[in-house]
Structure 1
Amino acid sequence: MRVGLLGAGRIGKVHAQAISSHPESALVAVSDAFEKNAQALAEGYGCQVRSSDEIIADSSIDAVLIATPTDTHSDLIEAAARSGKAVLCEKPVDLSLERAHACLANVGEKAASIMIGFNRRFDPSFGALKTAIDAGEIGKTELLSITSFDPAPPPVEYIKVSGGLFRDMMIHDFDMANFIMGQAPVSVSATGSSVVDPAIGAAGDFDTAVVTLSYADGRIAVIKNSRRAVYGYDQRVEVLGSGGLLQAQNMLENTVVKSTAEGVCSAKPTYFFLERYMPAYKAEWTAFVEAVQGKSKMPVNLYDGVAALAMAEAATRSAHSGQPVKMVDVLEESERREAV
C-alpha cells in the first residue's frame, strides 16, 4: 500500500516509522507547511516532498495519513475521500462539532471506512482489559474510572490553539470510555479549574478536570485529567463489575522493585506518550492496513470521532455552566447549526 503522509511534525514522525516498518505499506510522499520538516523526514525515509494537494490528487497513492493541525482535518478528510483514498486522520476530527458533522455528511457512505487515530484502543493492556470485559470475566460493568495525567503542561501558545483540554487531551478518554462501555453516555457533568499554571486559566482553558458520564442503563464513568504529574505519564483504567474488578496499570521505566527495612519502591511511570504508546501506534497502523485490505472493519471510524468530539463539547459546556449537559441536546443543536 502506497501511503502519503500529511504533516511531518512530532506525531507525523511517529506515524512515518509505523508506516515504513510495516511489511505491506510504503511511505512514498510527505507534505508539511514547513518544508524543512518535510525535507528532513523525506531524507530519513527515502520518499518525496510534495504538497498535500499533490499527494491527494496522485492516483498512484492508495492512502493518506493526516497529521496536520486540527483545523485542517475536515477539509483534508473530505478531499482524500473524494479522491478515493483510504484515510487515517489524527484526532480530533475538528475543533468545531458543527464542522465535524458537516464532514460526516459530506463523505457520506465513506465515513465508515475512514479511521480516526484514537491509538489508545490499540494499547495491549487496554485491549486485554476490553477483551476480558467482553468475555464476561467480571460480569456486568458498573463503574469505569479513567486516569490520564500528563507529566507537564504544554506551552500556553499551544493551549490557545488546542481547542481546550476536553477537545485536545480528554478526547482520548472519551473515546476510551465509549470503547470500554460499548455505547455513548446520555449526560456529561464536568468540573474544571486551573491550578497548575495560572496562564492556562488566563487563556480561557483548564489544566485540571473531572468528568462524570452517566449511561442510560445506570452505569457511571469517571474521567480525571491533569496537565501535570511530576512523577511521569499516569495512564490507568479500572472497571468494577458485578463479578469483580479489572485494572490496567501504568507502564514503568523498568520492573525492578527494591524492598528494604525503610520500605518498598519501584520505578516511575514512563515519561510521556511516545514512550508509553509507541506499540499502540504500530498496532493502530496494522489495524488500518488490515481494514483497507478488507480483512476487518475499520476499528475506529468517523462516527466514533464525531461521538468523542460531541462529548468534549458537552464537557466544555458543563464545566463553564456548572450544570450537567444532555448529549441529545448537544447533538441536536449541532445538527441544526450544520443544516443552516
Structure 2
Amino acid sequence: MKIGLIGTGRIGAFHAETLRGVPGVTDLVVADADTARATSLAATLGIRAAGSIDDLYADGLDGVVITAATSAHAPLIHQALDAGVPVFCEKPVALDVTGTRGVVARAQDGDAPVQIGFQRRFDAGYRAAREALRSGELGWLHTLRACTSDRTPPPAGYIPTSGGLFRDCSIHDFDILRWLTGREVVSVYAQGANRGADFFAAGGDVDTCAALLRFDDDTLATVTATRYNGAGHDVRLEVCGSEGARFVGLDDRAPLPSAEPQLSWQQADIPYATFMERFRAAYVTELGVFADVAAGRTPSPCSPAEALEALYVAEACERSRRTGEPVALADIRGAADT
C-alpha cells in the first residue's frame, strides 16, 4: 500500500514515522509546500519526497494523510476526493462551519472514504470508560469533567490561523464527550481569560477557558483548557454516574502533584510534556485503522459529519465567550443555515 503524507511539520513528521511501522504500508511519500522541509524529513526517515503535491498524486496513491496547516485542510481534502483517494485529515476539517459543511457534502457525494483525526477515540482509557458507561455499569450519567491543559503555549504565529482555543483545543473534548455518551449538546455557557502572553488577546483568542455543557438528557459537563499548565501536559476525563465512575488519564505520568501530606501512590517523576507523548499509542492505533479504511476493510470511524457536530459546540462556546450569554446549539445550526 502506497501512502502519501502532505505537511511535514511537527505532527506530520510524527505521523510519517508512525506510518513506517503500520502493517501493509510498504511505500510512504511525503510532500510539503516547503519542499526543503519535506526533503529533509524524507532523508531522515529513509523515505521518498515528492517535488510537489501534484507530483505526489501523479505517483499513484492508495491513501493520503493530511497534516498541513489548518487553513489548507479543506482544499486538500477536496483535492484528494477529486483524485478518488481515501483521505485521513487531522482535525479540524476547516476553520469555519461553511468550509466544514462543504467537505461534508463532498465526502457524502464521493466514493473515497474520509477519516478525521480525533485520536482520543483510539485511546485505551477513553474506550474503557465508554464501554463501562454503555454497559450500564456506571448507572445513569450525571456529570462529566474534561480538561485539556498544555504545558507551554504554541508560538505566536500559530494563533491567527488556529481558530481559537475552543475550536483548536477543546474541540477534542467536545468530540470525545459526544462519542463516549452517544448524546448531543443542546446548550453551552463559556468564559475565557488571558493571563499570559499578549499575542493571544492580539489574535482575538484566550489562553484559558471554561465551558458548561448541557446534553439532551440533562447530563452536565464542564470543559476547561489552558495553554499554561506548568505541571505538565494534562488531559483527563471524569465520567460520574449514579452507580460508579471512571477517570481517564490517571496514569503514572499524569501531572498531578498532590498537596496532601500522605499518599498511597507514586507521583509522576517525568510528567507528560506534549500531546504526542500522552497519545502516542492512540495515534499508532488511529493510523493503523486508516490503513484498513484505505484498503476498504472497514468504514471510516470518524467522518467529516462527526467533526462538524464537534465544531458546532466549539462555535457555540466561542459565541458565548464573546457575548457573555448562554448559547443554544440550535441557534448555531440555524445561523449556519441562513
User: TM-score, structure 1 length as denominator?
Assistant: 0.91
Match of 1:335 in 2: 337
CA distance in structure 1 between the aligned counterparts of 2:110 and 2:251, rounded to whole angstroms: 36
CA distance in structure 2 between the aligned counterparts of 1:178 and 1:111, rounded to whole angstroms: 26
How big is the shift at 1:112? 8.7
1:79 aligns with 2:70: no
Whether the 8 Å CA contact 1:101–1:334 is kept in 2: the answer is: no
Change (3 A) 1:137 1:2: same
Whether the 8 Å CA contact 1:112–1:301 is kept in 2: the answer is: no
- The answer to which of 266-275 and 195-204 deviates more is 195-204
Match of 1:203 in 2: 203
Residues 225-277 of structure 1 show CA distances to partners (whole Å, capped at 9, x for unaligned) of 1111111011111111121111113443499x9xxxx7445215311112111
How big is the shift at 1:293? 3.2
Change (3 A) 1:176 1:112: farther
Change (3 A) 1:69 1:254: closer
CA distance in structure 1 between the aligned counterparts of 2:72 and 2:203, rounded to whole angstroms: 22
Whether the 8 Å CA contact 2:32–2:52 is kept in 1: the answer is: yes
Matched residue SS, 1:22: coil
Residues 146-168 of structure 1 show CA distances to partners (whole Å, capped at 9, x for unaligned) of 01111011222211221111111
Match of 2:189 in 1: 189
How big is the shift at 1:196? 2.8
CA distance in structure 1 between the aligned counterparts of 2:31 and 2:180, rounded to whole angstroms: 35
Amino-acid identity (%): 35
CA distance in structure 1 between the aligned counterparts of 2:56 and 2:143, rounded to whole angstroms: 45
How big is the shift at 1:118? 0.6
Q: CA RMSD in A?
A: 2.3
Unpaired stretches in structure 2, ≥5 consecutive residues: none
1:266 aligns with 2:260: no
Match of 2:176 in 1: 176
Match of 2:313 in 1: 311
Match of 1:292 in 2: 294
Aligned residue identity for 2:208: T
Change (3 A) 1:111 1:11: farther
Aligned residue identity for 1:22: V
Unpaired stretches in structure 1, ≥5 consecutive residues: none
How big is the shift at 1:200? 1.6
1:123 aligns with 2:151: no
Change (3 A) 1:70 1:48: same
CA distance in structure 1 between the aligned counterparts of 2:47 and 2:208, rounded to whole angstroms: 42
1:279 aligns with 2:262: no
CA distance in structure 2 between the aligned counterparts of 1:196 and 1:176, rounded to whole angstroms: 28
Match of 2:91 in 1: 91
How big is the shift at 1:282? 0.3
CA distance in structure 2 between the aligned counterparts of 1:292 and 1:38, rounded to whole angstroms: 23
Alignment of 1:41-56 (within 5 A): 41-43=41-43, 44-56=45-57
Whether the 8 Å CA contact 1:111–1:303 is kept in 2: the answer is: no
How big is the shift at 1:216? 1.6
Whether the 8 Å CA contact 1:42–1:49 is kept in 2: the answer is: no
Whether the 8 Å CA contact 2:62–2:295 is kept in 1: the answer is: no
Match of 2:304 in 1: 302
Residues 32-80 of structure 1 show CA distances to partners (whole Å, capped at 9, x for unaligned) of 121121001211232232311232344x311000000111111111111
Match of 1:15 in 2: 15
Count of residues in correspondence between the two structures: 332
Residues 83-120 of structure 1 show CA distances to partners (whole Å, capped at 9, x for unaligned) of 11110001100111111112212333449921000111
